[in-house]
Structure 1
Amino acid sequence: MKRNEVIEVKIEDHSFPNTGIGHVEGKKVQVKGAFPGEVVAARAHQVRGDRAKGRFIEVLEKAPYAVDAPCIHFGRCGGCISQQVPLPLQRTFKEQEVQKLFLQNDLSMGEYLGVVGEKEQYEYRNKMEYTFGDAVKDGELNLGMHLKSMKNSVLNTEECILVSEDFRKIHAFTIDYFRKLDLPYYRVMRQEGYLRNLLIRRGVQTGELMVNLVTTTQREVDLTPYKEGLLALALTDDLVSILHTENDNLADAVHVDKLNILYGRDYITERLFDLTFKISPFSFFQTNTKGAEVLYEEVRKLIGEEKNEIFDLYCGTGTIGQIVAHKAKKVTGVEIVEEAVVAANENARTNGLDHVHFLAGDVKDVIETLEGQPELIILDPPRSGVHPKALSYVHAFGAKELIYVSCNPKTLVIDLKVLVSEGYEVIKTKIVDLFPNTPHVETVCL
Structure 2
Amino acid sequence: MQCSYFDAASCRSCTLMGQPYAAQLAGKVRHCQDLLAAHRDLSWLPPVPSREAGYRNKAKMVVAGTVEEPTLGILDGEGRGVDLRECGLCTPGLQQVLPTLAGFVTRAKLTPYDVPRRRGELKYLLLTESPDGELMLRFVLRSEEPLGRIRKHLPALRRELPQLRVVSANLQPEHKAVLEGQREIVLTEQATLPMRVNGVALHLRPQSFFQTNTDVAAALYRQGRAWVEELAPASVWDLYCGVGGFALHSAAADRDVLGVETSREAVASGRVSAREAGLERVRFEAGDATALVRGAQTAPDLVIVNPPRRGIGPELSGWLEAAPVRHVIYSSCNAVSLARDLAAMPSLRPRRARVLDMFPQTNHYEAMVLLERA
Tell me if TM exceeds 0.5: yes
CA contact (8 A) 2:104 2:157 kept: no
Shift of 1:218: 6.9
Shift of 1:76: 2.5
- TM-score, length of structure 1 as denominator length: 0.75
- The 1:305/1:257 distance shift into structure 2, 3 A limit, reads closer
Shift of 1:406: 0.5
Looking at structure 1, the residues matched to 192 and 225 of structure 2 have their Cα atoms a distance apart, in angstroms, of 27
Higher Cα Rg, which structure: 1
Looking at structure 1, the residues matched to 184 and 85 of structure 2 have their Cα atoms a distance apart, in angstroms, of 26
Looking at structure 2, the residues matched to 100 and 184 of structure 1 have their Cα atoms a distance apart, in angstroms, of 49
Structure 1 residue runs without a partner (length 5+):
1-68
Give secondary structure in 2 for the equivalent of 1:393: helix
Among the aligned pairs, what percent are the same residue? Answer: 27
Looking at structure 2, the residues matched to 151 and 440 of structure 1 have their Cα atoms a distance apart, in angstroms, of 27
- 1:275 corresponds to which residue? 200
Matched, 1:286 2:211: yes
Superposed CA deviations along residues 114-148 of structure 1, whole A, max 9, x for unmatched, are: 31224x2222222221112359xxx964221345x
Give secondary structure in 2 for the equivalent of 1:353: coil
CA contact (8 A) 1:188 1:251 kept: no
Greater fraction of residues in helix: 2
- TM-score, length of structure 2 as denominator length: 0.89
Looking at structure 1, the residues matched to 362 and 159 of structure 2 have their Cα atoms a distance apart, in angstroms, of 34
Shift of 1:382: 0.4
Greater fraction of residues in strand: 1
Q: CA RMSD of the aligned region, Å?
A: 2.5
- 1:241 corresponds to which residue? 166
**Worse-superposed segment, 311-320 or 355-364:** 355-364
Shift of 1:242: 2.0
- 1:108 corresponds to which residue? 40
Equivalent residue in structure 1 for 2:190, among 265, 287, 295: 265
Looking at structure 1, the residues matched to 282 and 250 of structure 2 have their Cα atoms a distance apart, in angstroms, of 10
Give secondary structure in 2 for the equivalent of 1:271: strand
Aligned pairs (5 A) from 1:179-218: 179=106, 183-187=110-114, 191-204=118-131, 206-217=132-143
Structure 2 residue runs without a partner (length 5+):
none
Aligned pairs (5 A) from 1:5-24: none
Matched, 1:163 2:90: yes
Matched, 1:84 2:18: yes
CA contact (8 A) 2:311 2:334 kept: yes
CA contact (8 A) 1:310 1:328 kept: no
Shift of 1:373: 2.8
Equivalent residue in structure 1 for 2:71, among 131, 142, 147: 142
2:73 maps to amino acid: G
- 1:312 corresponds to which residue? 238
Shift of 1:444: 0.7
Shift of 1:225: 5.0
Superposed CA deviations along residues 252-272 of structure 1, whole A, max 9, x for unmatched, are: 223345433333422110111
- The 1:387/1:189 distance shift into structure 2, 3 A limit, reads farther
Shift of 1:323: 0.3
Looking at structure 2, the residues matched to 292 and 164 of structure 1 have their Cα atoms a distance apart, in angstroms, of 15
- The 1:328/1:317 distance shift into structure 2, 3 A limit, reads farther
Shift of 1:356: 1.0
Matched, 1:124 2:55: yes
- The 1:286/1:245 distance shift into structure 2, 3 A limit, reads same
CA contact (8 A) 1:329 1:355 kept: yes
